[in-house]
């Protein structure tokens, strides 16, 4: 039984590690159910749930499992001065920044419910953001050499507006995307974002020249997420 209903959880401003543990709890719940289902006859199996967490984090830098610590350009004392923390994670990708004014989305989905693999899943997340930005009149696209969503790909002015880093276990996902909305971009000056030193970063607010309604943005992303994944948000 495939379940395309997605339970939406808005955590507001939440500590990175607290949210990470919440993701792990939900992922374990789904994986344990999948294991139980695999040992049960078809008629007795229970549909696995799906979740989508929206959150903002206090200032934090996170490093992917294959990332290079040298892409963090601050030492411990300098991090403290910026009221920022640093964590090594188990997601893919290199280093990135999370902070207030940035919409972070953590889909915990059983991809078998949607009939897709990890590559299509990442494509769908990118497509969700690309379609959302079009509502604001911003044309964005994928970079064939890097994940995430970019503006002016292939030009000297190329800049990233949304980073993506994911993990999956038994086709269940965690971690996700970070869309810069009203983000303080100064914090990106202290890293090589996603390990890339020759391209810039931007935000929705910077591109439009004004602070954006964060609540409206979340509603639009939810709508496009449901559209792209063919899901029902609950």
- Give 16-69 as a DSSP string: HHHHHHHHHHHHHHHHHHHHHHHTS-GGG--PPP-EEEEEE-SSEEEE-TT--G
Q: Is 194 one of the catalytic residues? A: yes
Helix (H) or strand (E) run with residue 230 in it: none
Helix, strand, coil percentages (3-state) for the chain, rounded to 5, are: 35, 30, 35
Instruction: Please tell me the distance from the alpha carbon of residue 161 to that of residue 180, in angstroms, as a whole number.
Output: 6
Catalytic residue among 194, 196, 217, 221: 194
Residue the block writes with tokens 């949210």: 19
CB-CB contact of 93 with 162 (8 Å): no
Residue 151: both structure tokens together: 């503006």
CB-CB contact of 221 with 103 (8 Å): yes
- Residues involved in catalysis: 194
């Amino acid at each position: 039984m495939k379940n395309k209903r997605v339970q939406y959880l808005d955590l507001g401003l939440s500590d990175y590690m607290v949210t990470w543990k919440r993701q792990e709890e939900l992922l374990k719940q789904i994986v344990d159910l999948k294991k139980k289902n695999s040992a049960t006859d078809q008629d007795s199996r229970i549909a696995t749930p799906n979740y989508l967490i929206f959150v903002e984090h206090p200032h934090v830098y996170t490093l992917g499992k294959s990332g290079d610590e040298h892409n963090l350009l601050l030492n411990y004392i300098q991090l403290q001065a910026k009221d920022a923390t640093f964590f090594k994670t188990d997601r893919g990708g290199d280093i990135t920044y999370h902070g207030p004014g940035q919409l972070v989305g953590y889909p915990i989905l059983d991809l078998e419910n949607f009939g897709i693999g990890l590559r299509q899943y990442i494509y769908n997340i990118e497509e969700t953001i690309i379609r959302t930005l079009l509502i604001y009149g911003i044309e964005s696209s994928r970079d064939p050499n890097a994940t995430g969503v970019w503006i002016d790909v292939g030009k000297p002015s190329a800049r990233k507006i949304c980073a993506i880093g994911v993990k999956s276990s038994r086709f269940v996902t965690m971690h996700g995307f970070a869309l810069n909305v009203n983000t303080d971009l100064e914090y990106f000056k202290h890293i090589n974002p996603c390990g890339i030193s020759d391209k810039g970063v931007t935000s929705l607010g910077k591109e439009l020249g004004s602070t954006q309604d964060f609540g409206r943005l979340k509603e639009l992303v939810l709508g496009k997420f449901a559209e792209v994944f063919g899901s029902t948000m609950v």
